[in-house]
Amino acid sequence: MHMNNEEAYLSRKRIVLVDDEPGLLRMLETILTQAGFQNVLAFGGPREVLAYCEGERGQAEPAHLFVLDVMMPGMDGFALLSNLRQIGCYAKTPAMFLTAKDEPNDRLSGLGLGADDYIPKPFLPQELILRIKAVLRRCYADENPMLVLAACRVDLSNAEVLRDDGTTAMLTAKEHEILSVLARNAGRIVTIDAICDACWGTAFGYENSLMAHIRRLREKIESDPSAPVALVTVKGLGYKLIEGGSS
């Protein structure tokens, strides 16, 4: 399957499917993988996906799009999305509802929660793929997925650090989120408060956690974490990410 650079980049985005019907879940997974999506995860219910997204100490890989069924026992898709929004790194992750319900009030409920699309069943596979691509393109096409730093390259689309010594390392969800915030402001100082607010939803109480994550990030992206040249501290202010390793 031939893809241009944008399509190849979007095809690596991690798509999380949630549906309590095993047959439909398998079909959705097949449709997406056959369309070229390389990173599809399927969950049979809300509790499973919440456990994945919360992760043990934030170790889960970040999701880039949720495709959620609405009618599920115990917790419907609306409640599930509300719970996902409470997890800091997923506060703004795009989401789509896929459901047999097609009432106007249901559409309003889903869109009111910040969902990006609402697709009633039955659906045409090609329509689903086109809508997923449209959401991914709208949310991610302007990103630069590859950071070039002094001692490594960071593939933000896969949360992977490709070090110059030939080794690789994976970013945790929170590390990925922090690095993404810094990358969007590369070459500029980002205050501690601004990073905490973007990654935890508040500027208070997470300074020590941020310092710990910065320390672990440096262990992955710097050749000498004790003398960083890419992720530098600006004393009394915050941090700055320097692409290419030069100031």
Residues 125 and 18 in one domain: yes
Domain harbouring 239, CATH code: 1.10.10.10
Q: Stretch 78-101: mean pLDDT, rounded?
A: 87
Residues 52 and 88 in one domain: yes
Domain boundary among 119, 140, 161: 140
Domain boundary among 106, 140, 174: 140
Residue 119: burial class (beta carbons within 10 Å; 0-12, 13-18, 19+): middle
Residues 173 and 225 in one domain: yes
What pLDDT does 5 receive? Answer: 54
Domain boundary among 140, 161, 184: 140
Query: Does a cis peptide bond (omega within 30 degrees of 0) precede residue 46?
Result: no
Residues 120 and 160 in one domain: no
Cβ neighbours of 70 (radius 10 Å): 22
Structure confidence by residue, pLDDT tens digits, 16-70: 999 999 999 999 999 999 999 989 999 999 999 999 888 754 455 678 999 999 8
**What rounded mean pLDDT belongs to the chain?**
87
Residues 134 and 158 in one domain: no
Q: How confident is the model at residue 158 (pLDDT cuts 50, 70, 90)?
A: confident
Residues 134 and 170 in one domain: no
- For residues 179 and 172, is the Cβ–Cβ distance under 8 A? no
Structure confidence by residue, pLDDT tens digits, 161-176: 999 999 999 999 999 9
Domain harbouring 125, CATH code: 3.40.50.2300
Would you call 42 helix, strand, or coil by DSSP?
A: strand
Residues 170 and 113 in one domain: no
Structure confidence by residue, pLDDT tens digits, 115-152: 888 888 889 999 999 999 999 988 886 665 678 899 99
- Which DSSP symbol is given to 172? P
Structure confidence by residue, pLDDT tens digits, 193-229: 999 988 998 888 899 999 999 999 999 999 999 999 9
Would you call 25 helix, strand, or coil by DSSP?
A: helix
Residues 130 and 88 in one domain: yes
Nearest of 74, 75, 76, 111 to residue 96 by alpha carbon: 111
Q: Tokens in use for 220?
A: 């992955």
Residues 194 and 92 in one domain: no
Report percent pLDDT > 90 for the chain. Answer: 55
Residues 186 and 134 in one domain: no
Domain count, the chain: 2
Residues 203 and 110 in one domain: no
Indicate the pTM of the whole model.
Answer: 0.59
Q: Tokens in use for 247?
A: 């100031």
Residue 186: burial class (beta carbons within 10 Å; 0-12, 13-18, 19+): middle
Nearest of 5, 35, 61, 17 to residue 133 by alpha carbon: 35
What pLDDT does 247 receive? Answer: 41
- Which DSSP symbol is given to 37? -
Residues 131 and 22 in one domain: yes
Q: Which residue segment(s) compose the domain that 181 sits in?
A: 146-245
